[in-house]
Structure 1
Amino acid sequence: MNEHQYKFETLQLHVGQEEADPATASRAVPIYQTTSYVFKDSQEASDLFGLRKAGNIYGRLTNTTQDIFERRIAALEGGVAALAVASGAAAINYVLQALAHSGDHIVAATTIYGGTYNLLEHTLPDYGVTTTFVDPTQGASVFENALKTNTKCVFIETVGNPNANLINIEKVAAIAHAHKIPLVIDNTFATPYQVKPFEYGADIVVHSATKFIGGHGTTLGGVIVDSSKFDWVASGKFPQLVEANASYHGISFAKDVGAPALAVFIRALLLRDTGGCISPFNAFLLLQGTETLSLRVERHVENALKVVDFLSKHPKVAKVNHPSLPNHPDHALYKKYFPNGGISIFTFEIDGNEAQARKFIDNLKVFSLLANVADVKSLVIHPASTTHSQMNDEELAQSGIKKSTIRLSIGTEHIDDILWDLKQAFEAI
């Protein structure tokens, strides 16, 4: 072992033998509501700060409650390490900051969350990082055609937001790997209960844990999961991960940290310096949500498929955007990735104009009108004027969002109540 050989044998920074195995960990996880930790002696303090020893250093970097949450999400996704941060937006931003620096380029699908689109299209260019957006409905080849010599990753969502489109993950992963860059997937809408992107070639997964993982609309949080499958050294495109890092006296994250190199890089540098950490209390609440994830998702999906059937037959609906429908262009991918059914967040187009879409929304009584999804409660919003409102008309069209488009997030209420609400709102228009 050389002087830069560091000990990251477990899924994450080790903080307690009792939690080493997330599958057998005690159900009673304490909230470690502390900013900092007492060191055994000066040598331990020095070793921890120098990354020569794994453990808690300061609350902005690690916390025992957070660590247990990270281990469990990593286990669910089949990753080697996870890092929990303040929000899903923070998770995406940290991954892209780690991979792409000034002068670099990203390729992304057009069919992504409006906030992520805005980050890529408007915010990151201020830091010298540009993005080419491609329409995934045209096939996987559009991703390859958009790649440049300075492209540092491909970014997609397992289930597109808001129209629930699907992408052939294996084909896009193969294209990215042929060009020695990683595939980053936002798996928020699918959850690891339904789809594990690492099994299809993804290298890095991000989540807005605010959504299904938390499940109750009470708690912000984001998670980055590192598969450890991408070879940063062989790629030759990521010197920040391979070359000696001056911040830690010459450490090479790829060579010295090993498997969780990216997760540790983001924690030790980006999170340390920019501070988008998760609260221990939020980590605790997200742990509670994780325990009921499978049960809730089953009910979400059961209700959603009944709503899709209802809407697809309603005379005041022009189109339902859900890949479970046999005439949907992504139906074959749906059968492949969701063999037991899936996707409770989708859109439909009202047979009318924007005013009628808004009137329909305003007359709903069970559905809550708010800017969130994947709550146990049923939710509704008008994407063109809210979640994707930063896009201009051309960008909205490229993303498949019309002024008559309505996004639904189907909750876990009794299906009769959900269908009653939709019926009475249609009657109002």
Structure 2
Amino acid sequence: MSDQNKPLAFATRAVQAGTAPDPATGARATPLFLTNGFVFDGPDMAADIFAMRQTGFSYSRGSNPTTAPLERRIASLEGGTGAVAIGSGQAALLVILMTLLESGDEYLAASILFGGSLGLMGRLAKRNDVKPIFVDADRPENFERAITPKTKAIIIESIVNPSGEVVDIESIAKIAQKHKLPLIVDNTLATPFLIRPFEYGADIVFHSASKFLGGHGQVIGGAIVDGGRFDWKGDSRFPMISEPWPDYGNMVLTEKFPASPFAVASRLYGLRDLGPGLSPFNAFMILTGIETLPLRMKRHCANAHVVANYLASHPAVASVSYPGLEGHPNRALALRYSPLGPGSVFTFAHKDGEPGARRFLKNLKLFSHLANIGETRSLAIHPATTTHKSMRPELQAKAGVGPEVIRLSIGLEDTKDLIADLEQALAATA
């Protein structure tokens, strides 16, 4: 292969993929198009765009000239065939589930997930009869044991929120492929810089772009990425992807858009019908944030390693859940899938239980006590009373988010300052 035909490196694509100088003005930065609608050349053009017979912009809920470059960039970084930018990571998961599943269907989900995902799954099970079957992801064979004729998908996280453990994506993907089930991976904590799930057999990837992709903690956004590999054609289990859409002239997405039919289904149903479109301003901010993703993730991982090692040796700390530590049971998987580091979100348990955890959070000065993760600044939260509060105490304990546990998201500050703040907060007695 000549140098001219070699794929661009990740860092280059993080800066340039999906964008080009604006043809109207020559602007090199992607312009911010703050417009609801777009003027059509005539009624035929309007009808053709709405019917998906012609590409083009019609209304910013479905797509926008600022949002589209973000979609192309995320798809490029993940190695997917198409992407849909959406209002939030929570909206991304909702649209994925609603596009794939109907009332009475079941899907398998890792038993330890982001608290918001667990809350949504529980609500959909109760109100819409879309039932999650929770599986211990530490042993991939558990997924195969749980599959029934009602099972239509498998959902996992690449790096688990909040424990920081890395999941054996490839082994679970082989099980999914054997049973012709799409494997869906929440890649928020890893980002495509650390782990690219499609390389291990995943079919759909999604993100909360509010976290590491944007990195600045200023806007909310999400993304759905189609891997383009799952064989949806003729599969009656997934009618929105494999069967005709009467309101689009009986268009079949696997025929019209064979490279990324799931992404198109997510756009038509998820954005046009359900409506959680991404603001062009938020798209602009996330697109800009991604330009520094490789630099930031290296620093995030390096800082997290230093902080986790410090906490592991502190007398007030009972345990640290960070796979980068020597002797951690998840270390081998972390090194295999994420050799650059297992991200920068992890938990630790205070020896004084919940009173110690609350005291610690109250006395932090440099760390911000808030519920986000993946920002340039370092953050801390008490999952048992916030992000995972909907879980029963016994399930919190099993998930590693008991009342003594604190979640940290390590930012880009100097580690000396971070450790000094942790030290004084851990030493506080009131």
- Give the TM-score of the pair, scaled to structure 2: 0.93
Report the counterpart of residue 149 of structure 1 in structure 2. Answer: 149
Matched ranges for 1:234-313 at <5 A: 235-313=235-313
Q: SS at 1:233's partner residue?
A: coil
Residue in structure 1 matching 2:20, options 12, 25, 43: 25
List alignment gaps of at least 5 residues for structure 1: 1-20
Say yes or no: does 1:119 pair with 2:114: no
Q: SS at 1:286's partner residue?
A: helix
Q: SS at 2:66's partner residue?
A: helix
Q: Structure 1 counterpart of 2:164, which letter?
A: A
Matched ranges for 1:24-423 at <5 A: 25-26=20-21, 27-137=28-138, 139-233=139-233, 235-423=235-423
Q: Is the 8 A contact 1:120 1:131 kept in 2?
A: yes
Identity %: 45
Moved segments of 4+, more than 4 Å = none
Q: Structure 2 counterpart of 1:89, which letter?
A: Q
Report the counterpart of residue 7 of structure 2 in structure 1. Answer: none
Q: Is the 8 A contact 1:140 1:168 kept in 2?
A: yes
- Give the TM-score of the pair, scaled to structure 1: 0.93
Q: Residues 51-82 of structure 1, C-alpha deviation per residue, up to 9 Å, x if partnerless?
A: 11111111111100000111001100011111
Q: SS at 1:35's partner residue?
A: coil
Q: Residues 336-377 of structure 1, C-alpha deviation per residue, up to 9 Å, x if partnerless?
A: 012122310000111121011110111110000001001101
Measured at CA, do residues 251 and 141 of structure 1 come closer, stay the same or move farther in structure 2, by a change above 3 Å? same
Q: Is the 8 A contact 2:34 2:281 kept in 1?
A: yes
Q: Structure 1 counterpart of 2:53, which letter?
A: R
**What is the distance in 2 between the residues matched to 1:112 and 1:253?**
31
What's the CA shift for 1:237? 2.3
Q: Structure 2 counterpart of 1:87, which letter?
A: S
Q: SS at 1:232's partner residue?
A: coil
Q: Structure 2 counterpart of 1:266, which letter?
A: S
Q: SS at 2:161's partner residue?
A: coil
**What is the distance in 2 between the residues matched to 1:219 and 1:171?**
35
**What is the distance in 2 between the residues matched to 1:142 and 1:69?**
36
* Count of matched residue positions in the alignment of Structure 1 and Structure 2: 408
Q: SS at 1:264's partner residue?
A: helix
Q: Residues 24-59 of structure 1, C-alpha deviation per residue, up to 9 Å, x if partnerless?
A: 623411011101111112211111111111111111
Q: Is the 8 A contact 1:135 1:398 kept in 2?
A: no
Q: SS at 2:85's partner residue?
A: strand
Q: Residues 234-266 of structure 1, C-alpha deviation per residue, up to 9 Å, x if partnerless?
A: 655212211111221211111222111011111
Measured at CA, do residues 23 and 253 of structure 1 come closer, stay the same or move farther in structure 2, by a change above 3 Å? closer
Q: Residues 54-113 of structure 1, C-alpha deviation per residue, up to 9 Å, x if partnerless?
A: 111111111000001110011000111110011010011101111111110010011100
Cα RMSD, aligned residues only: 1.3
Q: SS at 1:64's partner residue?
A: coil
Q: Structure 2 counterpart of 1:33, which letter?
A: L
Q: Is the 8 A contact 1:207 1:222 kept in 2?
A: yes
